[in-house]
Structure 1
């Protein structure tokens, strides 16, 4: 009986080593489409700029993790960001692990010309990439996020309502994580 209890304690200790809090940061390139429509006419503009992401999460085990994140997006003539929660499944038992995951949150884009304009709403999407564990604490990763949104707002310009929408958001990234 003592051997069984010892084996259970050792196994739980090994499982605990796979879990833990982590912090991460990544940089990348983020592009999104902004559509304006009024009186049955629409126009679309693409914005493409850098982005910076900070995240705090928890490795549930060696193959799954959850996090909260904030991403700042550099856009022409304004500010954009989104924050939310995500989950990733890391595939395999090697130091190099492909991963896939989902994300849901809130996004906002502001245009400097119209200070009262706030294009905001729910964002949701998926990501895929590769994570490389340098050691027990540090890992690096690279990947791609595809995020859909219902970010929109309407502004009245000279008596005409103009609806602005942002969708989709596409992000290539490289980053580093530190597990405590």
Structure 2
């Protein structure tokens, strides 16, 4: 049910943004960020021989990066639509994995200062995750979630942003040696800069 809601909500917000854009001073941007990702997974070592191991949960923290492009909409840039690519190399107890996310998101921004330079934002996101676990085939899965953060306009062309993103996932893989890996969710804290034009 939540997946269906997310699939409807994200395209709808892009349509909303398009309508707002007709009466606004739009601003495009591109950006990049460094991120720290926490991954919540369930693992079963040597799943083909349960006598050698047992299920356990793991929370792993790894570094990654992201690239984005999007557009601000509205008279005060209070709406934002973004396409984001993220890449993280993760390490777990019984193997490593690499994940790439391709995300579409909408944010509503609320001004925190009279000059509109400081703004808080919150929004929804959905897209596809391409995940590869050591010794197993890669897979593409639907992901969805939300993000919040703070944005600061440094100059007319530059801004910086600190954010938190939560993504619900449903990836599972079994390596050739029998190790089983299931990725339940990821949480990302990122800090980056955007160039507006």
Fold conserved (TM > 0.5)?
yes
Where does residue 106 of structure 2 map in the other structure?
A: 87
Secondary structure of the equivalent of 1:15?
coil
**Would you say how many aligned residue pairs link Structure 1 and Structure 2?**
161
Where does residue 72 of structure 1 map in the other structure?
A: 87
Cα distance between partner residues in 2 of 1:15 and 1:66: 14
Give, in angstroms, the shift of residue 151 of structure 1: 2.1
Cα distance between partner residues in 1 of 2:33 and 2:70: 14
Regions of 4+ moved over 3 Å: 153-158
Match for 2:123 among 89, 101, 106?
A: 101
Where does residue 162 of structure 2 map in the other structure?
A: 142
Where does residue 63 of structure 1 map in the other structure?
A: 78
* TM-score (normalised: structure 1): 0.79
Where does residue 29 of structure 2 map in the other structure?
A: 22
Describe the shift of the 1:85–1:71 C-alpha distance in structure 2 as closer, same or farther (beyond 3 A). Answer: same
Describe the shift of the 1:165–1:78 C-alpha distance in structure 2 as closer, same or farther (beyond 3 A). Answer: closer
**Structure whose alpha-carbon radius of gyration is higher:** 1
Where does residue 132 of structure 2 map in the other structure?
A: 110
Which residues of structure 1 form unaligned runs of 5+?
A: 1-11
Greater Cα offset, 61-70 or 87-96: 87-96
Which protein is richer in strand relative to its size? 1
Are residue 174 (structure 1) and residue 181 (structure 2) matched? no
* TM-score (normalised: structure 2): 0.73
CA RMSD of aligned residues (A): 2.4
Are residue 122 (structure 1) and residue 129 (structure 2) matched? no
* Offset from partner CA, 1:132-159 (integer Å, 9 cap, x none): 011221110101111111222355756x
Give, in angstroms, the shift of residue 163 of structure 1: 5.1
